[in-house]
Structure 1
Amino acid sequence: MLWTAINTVVILVTLVVLCLVMYSKKVQRSEKYQATVVPLANIMDVGFLAMTPIIVLLLGVDSPIFMLLLVLTGALVGVVMSYNMKYFEPLLGTDDPLGRISSFSRWALLAASVANIAYYIKLMSALVFLPFGVQSQQLFSLAAAAVLVALGVIGYLFGLGKLNALGEKTTAFNIAAVLAILAGFIVFNVQMFVTGEWVIPEYNPPNDPDRLRKLFGFFAIVQGFEASRYMRNRFPDASFRISTMRTAQLVSGVVFVLLIASTLIAFAVVRPELRPVAIIQIGEVVTPMLPFLILVAAITSQLSAGVNALSSRSDLLVEATDKKLNRKYTYPIIVAPCVALVMLADVTQAIAVASRIFAGYFLLQALIAMSLAFRKRHWGELLLFGVAGFAMALVMIFGLSV
């Protein structure tokens, strides 16, 4: 009981303190915060919490190492995006032939975003029904489809400006909640160590020859940093966006690896099901209030992420059609394939689809970076970008869902 109380207090204090800091006028008005929080929120949406126990169940006690590998892959692709921000952005609006590859990459990003939006809303729907003990995939799909149709109609009639602004206000809470949840798991590890119960769980996952391919299918978890590339109108200085993007990647990468590592001990106490809601079963081991925080944060995070992605991809679609398409039509155009995907795929399948398409987008970005590096005779960068492109090709071709 004492340790449960301590865990609860630590989680609540962490949440409150971080919210007070992040919602303060000084922080909210800081350009560095504004430029960092967008890619950070895109990478570190609460949805990755739901995937944590699935990765552990898939990869066992080696999962922190595999997660680190995934994070480093994301960091490598981040170097590609940084290079393009620095050297390719000045070529935008010119007749440079690389513009054609950039146009293809925009369409790839739009396609990947369809899968991402479907994943956001499908996971949110599953979590909404969790307290009621409902486990019907068909009901989750219908609920997700209804939410998507509603967003499409609202976007068509009124635009998503107000909903997007409301979603942005929850961003600081969502990030604070993730860090508070991480603090709870770390304190739980301390508790188990102090009481002499800390052990590495004897869990060997089933021998699965496709487990590395399934890890590739989780690549979408570590993406989101590319948002910095499309904030040029708001923050024209490329070096500033590169710096804040790297900060977002560093913070999220540390959180990802620590969360995987800190949840391992819970598998010595409980063996959750191989489903996205398994994080709730893991959270109950720490303190009874943790599942509630995970639920609230995940639902608000996934809905705001879905609205934000739909809104930003509307901008991208208008841009991709040279402003020939009226913005109000972009919402139903994007929503229609999202509805099809939530009806046909479960959450992990949607993530795998998003991972493969995002990998295609980053492969095109790597080709742009390689071309620029060749022109400028940056041979070290050329080799590095070749490795990044090869890694993205592997994810695109071989990524599988769990």
Structure 2
Amino acid sequence: MALPVSSLIVAATAALVCGVLLFYKPLTASPAWRATVTPLASIMGSGFLVCVPLLYANIGNYSVLAMAVLLGLAYAVGSVIRFNIRYGEPLFQKQNPPDVFERIEHRLHIAHRDAAHRIKIGEAADLLEKISHVALSGAYCISVSYYLQLLASFALQPLNLHTAWIAKSLVTLILAGIAIIGFTRGLKGIERVERIVVGVNLAMIAALVAGLAHFNAVSAMDGSWHLRHLGVSGDKLHVVRLLMGMLIVVQGFETSRFLGSEHSQGERIRTMRWAQLISTVIYLVFIGLMAAVIGNTQGDLQSGITAIVALSAVVAPILPALLTITAIGSQFSAATADDAGCSGLLEAIFKRWMPARYAYVVVSALSISITWMTDVYQIISYASRAFALFYVLQCVVALLVMRKVSDVPARRAKTGLYAGLALICLLITLFGIPAG
């Protein structure tokens, strides 16, 4: 079996190399890289940490296949978003630019507000696009609660504080703090911290994957590598509904849809595709390599949200502490990003009735209410279903846009695909259930 020192060296080296690359100034200054890392960070943020315990506890040795199905669905839905970027946006957007507001807000607040503000309400596709933004704002409120409930789980786990009211109280305090900062100063300052957190998070993911590869290689060489037999919990329909409730794990690619004020149409389409492909490879390699770690665990398999922390100790002794710190930072970063995006949508939807600073208060108030009405397993399912509703509307928008655009290649195939995806996402909205 691998010595702790060698595993530590491999994980630390991977984190260092990845960190240097991610903070390399010519790379960070590249518009293409920035357009790639925004959706990539959203896709990899929280789902990466919770997917293994949830999948292996509920779907067993079919976990890699189940994740491949989720990722395939996400990529297909991503093609709908890319279609709407290419063909829908020119139809939706007003010719006149949006009103100029004081630019002290988070970049995703500005991006979402400007994108929603430009839509003219003249035809069915325009109206449905606007409605989809309303649905997305609701999904963001749920996801803010989701991210912060995960943050509380990881923050309290080392202290062995598992009481629900303590976690919910911590989430409430954080949301109150975000509301106060947003109301008084905007979230521009927090955005600077997010850039560092995103880089650290991706470096820790690299460390974990490298450590897993080393663990698997050494286990194979000394003959201790084996798979643990894990069956599927529940009947097939139940498993399918569980998988539906985990769509949030691979969500985040749609962020590219709202970066039009910073990045060109072609750049957003290209970088969104790259973000989804990169995340697909990382997810499948990670879940596949984790099979050997699961095989070496004794007793009942841990299925809690934070089980990845204990499992990572098998790979390298330092990883549990690093992952806990990274999880807290990445959840806070994701929560503030979605909070900013939601407040931007609300500002555009309600026009002058809701200035940005009041939108932050509304988002935090709604997220606090959702937090006290749900637990961490329920919120994963609710967030998945909320984003699935947004995807349903985007699929229908794409179908309506296709009727107005004459030069769409493979029109018949795309029509069938988008209609099928709309149906699948509608089923997820209606029938997804918690994995806990």
Fold match, TM over 0.5?
Answer: yes
* Range with bigger deviation, 199-208 or 98-107: 199-208
Equivalent position of 2:60 in the other structure? 60
- TM-score of the two chains, using structure 1 as the length reference: 0.96
In 1, Cα distance between the equivalents of 2:421 and 2:232? 29
Contact 1:47 1:301 in 2 (8 A): no
Contact 1:45 1:301 in 2 (8 A): yes
The answer to whether residue 406 in structure 2 is matched with residue 379 in structure 1 is no
The answer to whether residue 281 in structure 2 is matched with residue 248 in structure 1 is no
**SS class of match (1:285):** coil
1:255-334 matched pairs, under 5 angstroms: 255-270=282-297, 271-334=300-363
1:293 shift after superposition: 1.5
Paired residues, what number?
Answer: 401
Equivalent position of 1:232 in the other structure? 260
1:1-400 matched pairs, under 5 angstroms: 3-91=3-91, 92-93=93-94, 94=120, 95-208=122-235, 209-235=237-263, 237-270=264-297, 271-376=300-405, 378-400=411-433
* Range with bigger deviation, 204-213 or 51-60: 204-213
In 1, Cα distance between the equivalents of 2:370 and 2:355? 24
Contact 2:46 2:147 in 1 (8 A): no
In 1, Cα distance between the equivalents of 2:128 and 2:348? 15
In 2, Cα distance between the equivalents of 1:280 and 1:395? 29
Contact 2:385 2:430 in 1 (8 A): yes
Contact 1:228 1:241 in 2 (8 A): yes
Contact 1:356 1:397 in 2 (8 A): yes
1:33 shift after superposition: 0.6
In 2, Cα distance between the equivalents of 1:84 and 1:319? 20
Contact 1:108 1:360 in 2 (8 A): yes
1:2 shift after superposition: 5.1
Contact 1:374 1:382 in 2 (8 A): no
Contact 1:47 1:123 in 2 (8 A): no
Contact 1:121 1:303 in 2 (8 A): yes
In 1, Cα distance between the equivalents of 2:58 and 2:233? 8
| Alignment deviations for residues 127-179 of structure 1 (CA, whole Å, 9 cap, x no partner) | 11111122112211111111111111121122111012211222111112112
Contact 2:194 2:333 in 1 (8 A): yes
| Alignment deviations for residues 297-320 of structure 1 (CA, whole Å, 9 cap, x no partner) | 111100111111111221121112
Alpha carbon RMSD of aligned pairs, Å?
1.4
In 2, Cα distance between the equivalents of 1:287 and 1:23? 24
In 2, Cα distance between the equivalents of 1:191 and 1:166? 38
| Alignment deviations for residues 328-362 of structure 1 (CA, whole Å, 9 cap, x no partner) | 10011011111111112122211110110100000
- Percent of pairs with identical residues: 27
1:239 shift after superposition: 1.4
**SS class of match (2:341):** helix
**SS class of match (2:227):** coil
In 1, Cα distance between the equivalents of 2:2 and 2:240? 41
In 2, Cα distance between the equivalents of 1:96 and 1:63? 43
Contact 1:50 1:277 in 2 (8 A): yes
1:287 shift after superposition: 1.7
In 1, Cα distance between the equivalents of 2:429 and 2:273? 24
Letter in 2 for 1:256: Y
Q: 1:6 to 1:370 in 2, by over 3 A?
A: same
In 2, Cα distance between the equivalents of 1:3 and 1:196? 15
**SS class of match (1:350):** helix
- TM-score of the two chains, using structure 2 as the length reference: 0.89
Contact 1:318 1:326 in 2 (8 A): yes
